[in-house]
Amino acid sequence: MQKKIILITGANSGLGKTLAKELSKDFVVYAGARNPGEVEEGRNIKSIKLDITSEKDCKDAMEKVVENEERIDVLINNAGYALVGPTTDFKTEEFLKILDTNIVGAFRLIKYAVPYMKKQKGGRIINITSLNGIISLPNFGLYSSSKHGLHALGIALHYELQKYGIWVTNLAPGAIASEGKTTKSLPHKPAREKFRILSLLMPMLTRRDVAEKVRELIDSSHPPAQVIMGADARIVTFLKKILPSCLWDKLLFYIWSKK
């Protein structure tokens, strides 16, 4: 049986790197990165130049995959980044840049993948969104805006493309534990540090956890429009759904104002 052909964006580091490594055990993975030299190639992992803010790169990458393999079975929109801090402290240019990467970049690739998937009568598109794409949290205004946009795009496409055998799923993980050193700093004290019990009630996901869920979605015959991953994401979205808005507001203000 022919192995599925997968294209992953942002595959040179972080979650994208883990996705490429884990999925290459069963599939042929094209690992996209602005600098393909940063990709760890291996059995079933092929690096490919891909800057998702470049229309040409997106078109060329998709054409190259199909030219080499004669198909594209799965597109994983993973590339993206976060901006964290008081929302109005950021410049308009910074907002436009994160939108171009986190939403428009995914759209560019989807646009070029869909005609091939229609022709082959099937395919999977998996958007790595975030809890921040469902609920906006303080100091994550621009990041949440970008992930909300990707979430909305994916939901619409889930229904538009099903009739062609193309299944679109938003995978929204909660906090993912960092591996090794991290240079990312927050302007506020994380809730898990303010309330130690949260670390027990809501343990962070690992990158491998997310990779295993992606594998399940690839293998599923009818993947859902949205999957929420992680105890924190499930609990927070549940509370947002059931609590009266006044209580939700008080809870959020209490957590973010407590030193």
CB–CB of 222/168 below 8 Å? no
Q: Which of 30, 112, 116, 143 is catalytic?
A: 143
Token pair, residue 111, equals: 């646009």
Cα torsion 155, 125, 145, 181: sign: positive
Q: Are 20 and 41 in contact (CB under 8 A)?
A: no
Buried b (16+ CB within 10 A) or exposed e, 90-115: beeeebebbbebbbbbbbbbbebbbe
Candidates 225, 239, 81; CA nearest to 156 is 225
Q: How far apart are CA 123 and CA 169, in angstroms?
A: 11
Strands 74-77 and 5-8: parallel
Structure tokens belonging to residue 197:
């019990």
What is residue 243's DSSP assignment?
A: S
Q: Give the span between the Cα atoms of 53 and 101, in whole angstroms.
A: 6
Is 143 one of the annotated active-site residues of the chain? yes
The neighbouring-strand residues paired with 168 are 125
Q: Where in the sequence numbering do the catalytic residues fall?
A: 143
